[in-house]
Amino acid sequence: MSLPRPIADSTPSLLARGYGWLPDRMRRAAVPLVRARLLGRRAVALRGPDAVRFVYDERNVRRHGALPEPVRSTLFGHGAVHTLDGEAHRVRKAMFLSLLTSREGIGDLVGHATGAWDAAAARWAGQGRVVLFDSAAEVLTEAVCRWSGVPLPASGAGPLSRDLVAMVDGFATVGPRHWRARAARRRRERWLARLVEEVRDGSAAVPEGSVVDVVARHRDADGEPLDSRTAAVEILNVLRPTVAVCWFVAFAAHALHRWPEHRDRLVEEARREDRETGGAYAEAFVHEVRRFYPFAPFIGGLAVRDLSWRGRPIPAGALVLLDIHGQNHDAGLWDEPYSFVPERFLDRPVERDELIPQGGGDPAAGHRCPGEDVTIALLRALSVRLARLAYEVPEQDLRIPLRRVPTRPRSGFAVTDVRPHGG
């Protein structure tokens, strides 16, 4: 099977255009399939619920060998669950799902996060200027360490939170941000591998059933425990994305600033229902934050064999991308996709393969994010707290550049004159 004509490599264009690259290409294509060449490899990009089912079918697309080295050395780690297929993936994934989907476990994590937020908010009141992105990252680092059995460093949550943020911030770029991400990963993998070794030889103790305990005792599909470095990689695959919820916290602050009517509705619902962690409206708000604001641009794997998508050939070995950002703004799926309208999620159930900010399909059977319930619960509770917090928004650069991946409000969303109890 061959492509109609040679295609120039689009990697520089992707790096330069960021979130706009794929949706722009899609807009120009007559069919929802784009052909490109990335990192020297043939690539096709798809979108839509049918494409989700196609891409998440392991008979079509597999992950082994698909992730470029710069992404493995920053964002996910070598040997991570993201890179596995078949039985090896299912067994490793079951470990994550057991840790991340129990109602009780999520409730405990949210409790740690709201406790850390309230303590931090009391401190913010005495500070001149607070950058919400950075402060939320510290709150979430403190919470996830307490919850997962990872000892909080004596220096506090700050340096660790900056390393965890760096791993996400530097995966899709060249230059200093990328080198910071690599260094942060090396440092934290070494530190957590030592912790796993100490837990295994009995010189350190962690709570039974905690993330560190479960990962240290986990056995893979081959019956073998994880080597300590891979165990560290997987512990980081809980810590790092939990802290990455700070991107959505900054976006939630941005939304409440641009469209303040949502603030009253969040506060009013929490008061009416006596639910500190928010109700149906808070959940709809969170879904809209995850849909509307750009975070993960796309996911990808390799075509297992010669495939055909809507009659169009995809050669074996091609990189198959699912256009997450584009699908979350597809006018065929969402009315007025570029308007921020949480109510859209009150009117209809969330379809599994339509809203895909954290991947699609069934998380147990494929690679969909196992932390989606955690993300929603954390963001619900913190959005309500954010809505209740009184503060001023000083002059700053709140633009969200689409060329930067991952993006965020340029200023990180700074606030002043914080009054924790609504002034």
Tokens 């703004």 locate to 329
Q: Is 26 in the site for ligand HEM (CB under 6 A)?
A: no
Q: For residue 415, which of 256, 294, 282 has the smallest C-alpha distance?
A: 256
Instruction: Write down the least CB distance from residue 162 to ligand HEM, Å.
Output: 17
Site stretch for ligand HEM (CB under 6 A), options 128-136, 257-265, 292-300, 409-417: 292-300
Among 296, 314, 377, 381, binds ligand HEM (CB under 6 A): 296
Q: What is the distance of C-alpha 352 from the center of its chain?
A: 17
Q: Looking only at residues 106 through 145 of this chain, which bind ligand HEM when binding is defined by CB under 6 A?
A: none
Q: Which residues within the stretch 352-381 sit at the binding site for ligand HEM (CB under 6 A)?
A: 357-359, 367-371, 374-375
Classify strands 61-62 and 129-131 as parallel, antiparallel or unpaired: unpaired
State the residue number with the nearest CB to ligand HEM.
Answer: 371
Give the span between the Cα atoms of 176 and 174, in whole angstroms.
7
Binding mask 318-357 for ligand HEM (x = CB under 6 A): ---------------------------------------x
The pair of structure tokens assigned to 247 is 């991107």
- Do the Cβ atoms of 140 and 242 come closer than 8 Å? yes
Q: Which tokens go with 274?
A: 């006596």
Q: Hunting for tokens 């060998």 — which residue is that?
A: 65
Q: Is 44 in the site for ligand HEM (CB under 6 A)?
A: no
Does 74 engage in binding with ligand HEM (CB under 6 A)? no
> Cβ(3)–Cβ(33) under 8 Å?
no
Based on the shown chain and the rule CB under 6 A, indicate whether residue 387 belongs to the binding site for ligand HEM: no
Beta strands 312-314 and 41-46, pairing class = unpaired
Binders of ligand HEM in range 90-109 (CB under 6 A): 93, 96, 100
Which lies closer to ligand HEM via its Cβ, residue 100 or residue 415? Answer: 100
Q: Does 32 bind ligand HEM (CB under 6 A)?
A: no
Q: How far apart are CA 399 and CA 406, in angstroms?
A: 13
Give the shortest CB-5-to-ligand HEM separation in angstroms: 30
Show the site string, 220-259: x = touches ligand HEM by CB under 6 A, - = not: -----------------xx--xx-xx--x-----------
DSSP-assigned letters across all residues of 187-243: HHHHHHHHHHHHHHTTSS---TTSHHHHHHH-B-TTSPBPPHHHHHHHHHHHHHHHH
